[in-house]
Amino acid sequence: MSNRTIVLFVALFALIVVGMFLFTYFYQKNTEPVALPSDPAATTTQNSYGVTRIDGKHFFINGVHTIVGELALPTPCGLLTTESRVAESFPEQVTFTFEVVNTTEVCAQVITNQRFKIDASASDQANLTATFMGKPVELNLVEAEPGETPEQFELYIKG
């Protein structure tokens, strides 16, 4: 092959590569991100503790919803507090609120499981949701077996 043919092939190849980059640049600039429909129940946000899902066992006894479980926290210094709120509607909207109170400045980074038990009086048709540190999280509940009580729970959740 002559030098002229080699230069022609290199120039053609360079032109194709530059064209691909320009096409990609202009295509990305002209397209807008598509907003996907969101399911409010599936919307979770990251928080400083990395908790996006709370696993628990659900008991419904005599009109009272009870959730028991364990939550892994990054340090043993935080104290897990819980609160439940019932919005009067039918079916009721029950929100279980989980907060961590930590008054120490320095603490060892050791993952520590903290157990919780939280109650709310509502009908058996109530919609249950949860928040952790003010942000919505997924509430993954396993129904209790007949005869089980919240005081004697064992939590073995896979998945």
Per the prediction, the chain carries an average pLDDT of 81
The CA-CA-CA angle for residues 152, 70, 61, to 5°, reads 45
Q: Which residue has the higher pLDDT, 88 or 157?
A: 88
* Cα(114)–Cα(104) distance, integer angstroms: 17
Q: Are 101 and 133 in contact (CB under 8 A)?
A: no
* Cα(158)–Cα(139) distance, integer angstroms: 14
Categorize the per-residue pLDDT at 33 as very low, low, confident or very high, splitting at 50, 70 and 90. Answer: low
pLDDT in tens, 15-25: 999 999 888 88
Is residue 115 helix, strand or coil? strand
* Cα(55)–Cα(158) distance, integer angstroms: 10
- Model confidence, pTM: 0.64
Q: Which residue has the higher pLDDT, 77 or 48?
A: 77
